[in-house]
Amino acid sequence: MKKRFLSVLVIVLILLVVTPYIFIPSKLTIASVGITPCSLPGVFRSLTKKDDWAKWWPGPDGKNMPFCTDFVECKFKFRGYTYSVTNKYYNALSIEISNGNQDYDSRIDLISIHGDSTNIRWSYSVHTSHNPMERIKNYREAARQKQNLDTLLLHLKNFTSLTKNVYGHDIHLIMPSDTTLIVIKLKTPAFPNTEEIYRSIRSLREYASANSAKEINYPMLMPSKSTPGAYETFVALSIDKALPGKGEIAYRRYVPWKDLMLEVKGGDSSVSQAQALLNNYIQDNHIQVVSKTFQSLVTDRSIEKDSSKWTTRLICSIP
């Protein structure tokens, strides 16, 4: 009976020793993969901006961003681990993960999918111990890290799935209603000021009223070209019927393509920044445009003097 018991005990001990080697490989790969409906350049730009990390990172670090002058010096904490960006590559980042006792070199890789979506893979590999008990600890540690990476990647996916988070504004696809325009071309030494713009708008409105035409949308402003000391800007009004034009006022037909529209609050500086972000969106998503971007002046700037309260829509046509 004793021999049988000892035999069983020996077999159990052997299984306890051998099992970790059978089921736990010598090298573990921890990876989390997900797809976000955002272009690769947009995702990469968010991953390389410290301020954007603060917006999507879960936990207290997302609200109280640690001070760091260089992005690669920033440390983010989550569930007892510290994450530090150590290097930036072409469409990839290396991130050091530390639990206080051991450091792991992980990497985020981005792969474009059809130009408008991105596959994100966050992964690293670790060698397990030859000691069976330590090997089991290594596996449990890897399982915890896998859960952490899944959670972090989910937050990143949710953040980058919203255009406003990546580009600072919502960008909408709309069908235009402006097809019949009357236009004045302004020539000024610099970008026209509010008085110059609204003087032209008043002239267009007076001409439309005199010819029983109704204004059907907000006044439009389209910078055309500039050279030192010379700036050309088109000021336009959308009306409900075609008019022949008179003097400086010309008739234009606006082809009704689909439009991209971004709405921005603030003065000329805010509009310029929003224009740059819209350009990023167009370039990132490989969108072909068929017209220059024009400004739709939602706020009557001749009445509202506080430029921080101005609302402007940036609109450009696409096929």
Domains of the chain: 23-167 (3.30.530.20), 171-318 (3.20.80.10)
15 to each of 10, 12, 20, 132, 249, how far by Cα in Å? 9, 5, 9, 11, 92
Q: What is the pTM of this model?
A: 0.83
Mean pLDDT of 301-305: 95
Beta-sheet pairing, 294-297 with 103-113: unpaired
What are 181-225's pLDDT values in tens digits? Answer: 999 999 888 888 999 999 999 999 999 999 999 999 999 999 877
- Checking if the pLDDT of 309 tops 90, the result is yes
- The values of phi and psi at residue 203, to 5°, are -60, -40
Contacts of 2 (CB under 8 A, 6+ apart): none
Window from 4-18, 195-209, 248-262 with minimum mean pLDDT: 4-18
Distance CA 255, CA 26 (A): 65
What are 70-110's pLDDT values in tens digits? Answer: 566 678 889 989 999 999 999 999 999 998 888 999 999 99
More confident residue, 28 or 156: 156
- The DSSP bridge partners found for residue 112 are 118
Fill in the DSSP letter of residue 60: G
Mean pLDDT of 254-258: 77
Distance CA 21, CA 278 (A): 55
Cα first-last separation, the chain:
86
Q: Is 139 left (phi over 0), alpha (psi -120 to 50) or beta?
A: alpha
- Checking if the pLDDT of 265 tops 60, the result is yes
Distance CA 149, CA 126 (A): 15
pLDDT band at 4 (very low <50, low <70, confident <90, very high): low
Distance CA 313, CA 311 (A): 7
- Checking if the pLDDT of 304 tops 90, the result is yes
Q: Is 58 helix (H, G, I), strand (E, B) or coil?
A: coil
- Checking if the pLDDT of 146 tops 90, the result is yes
Q: Is 265 helix (H, G, I), strand (E, B) or coil?
A: strand
Q: What per-residue confidence (pLDDT) applies to 13?
A: 47
